[in-house]
Amino acid sequence: MSTHLPGKTCILLCGAEGTISGLWPGLAASSFHQGLNLRVIRFDLDTFEHGLMWGGMTVYPLAENISLYNAFYMFNMNHDRDPKAALILSTACVKGLGCFFSAEYTYKDPIAKPQIFENFTSLTNSSDTTRITTLSNLTTEIKNSQPNGFRLVAVRRITSL
C-alpha cells in the first residue's frame, strides 16, 4: 500500500525565521548556502505510487572488509547497468557491540537479492533484514537504527493536501 498520493504535489510552507516547524534540517540549515541569508519558502515535490520493493539492512563483521570494499567497487562500476538499485555502506563502532559494517539496500522492484547486489549478498553476515516490503517500512527501519541526535529520518503519512 502506498503512503503517498499519486500525482499530487506536496508543499511545505515556512514561517518567519525561528518558527519553521518540521522543516527538514537539510533545507533549513545546510552548508549549501553557507554565508548567504537564504530562507526556504517552500519545498515542492511530485509523488508517485510505489508498490512493493526489496531492501533492508545487513550487518557484516570487520573481517569482511576487503570483500566489502571489492563488492562496493564492483557495485559502483556497474551502477549504470541497473538504475533501480541503491546502497549505503557504513562502518560503525557501538559500545558493547564493537565495530562492524552496515549495508542498507534498496531495489525499486520486489525482486529478492537482485543480481547487482550479488557481491554483497554472498558474503558472511551477522544479521540480515532484507525482504520484500514497502519504502515506508524500510525508512522506518533505518530511522530506528540511528542513534538519537545523529541523523534525522522523518516518516509521515500524507492523508490530504
Whether residue 14 is found in the same domain as residue 62: no
Asked if pLDDT for residue 36 goes beyond 70, the answer is no
Asked if pLDDT for residue 5 goes beyond 50, the answer is no
**156 assigned to some structural domain:** no
d(CA 106, CA 85): 6
Whether residue 57 is found in the same domain as residue 42: no
Asked if pLDDT for residue 3 goes beyond 90, the answer is no
Q: Residue 145 has what pLDDT?
A: 77
Convert the pLDDT of each residue in 47-90 to its tens digit: 777 889 999 999 999 999 999 999 999 999 998 999 999 999 98
The boundaries of the domain holding residue 89 are 53-145
Whether residue 70 is found in the same domain as residue 91: yes
Gyration radius of the chain over CA positions:
18
Return the C-alpha torsion angle 133, 76, 89, 44, nearest 10: -60
Whether residue 115 is found in the same domain as residue 39: no
Q: Are strands 98-107 and 42-46 parallel, antiparallel or unpaired?
A: unpaired
Whether residue 80 is found in the same domain as residue 127: yes
**158 assigned to some structural domain:** no
- Give the pLDDT mean for 2-25: 44
Q: Residue 96 has what pLDDT?
A: 87
**152 assigned to some structural domain:** no
Give the chain's domain count: 2
**Residue 139 pLDDT grade (very low, low, confident, very high; cuts 50, 70, 90):** confident
- Give the pLDDT mean for 37-53: 69
Which CATH number fits the domain that encloses residue 70?
3.30.70
Q: If you average pLDDT over every residue of the chain, what do you get? A: 75
CA distances from 61 to 105, 113, 130 (A): 17, 20, 17
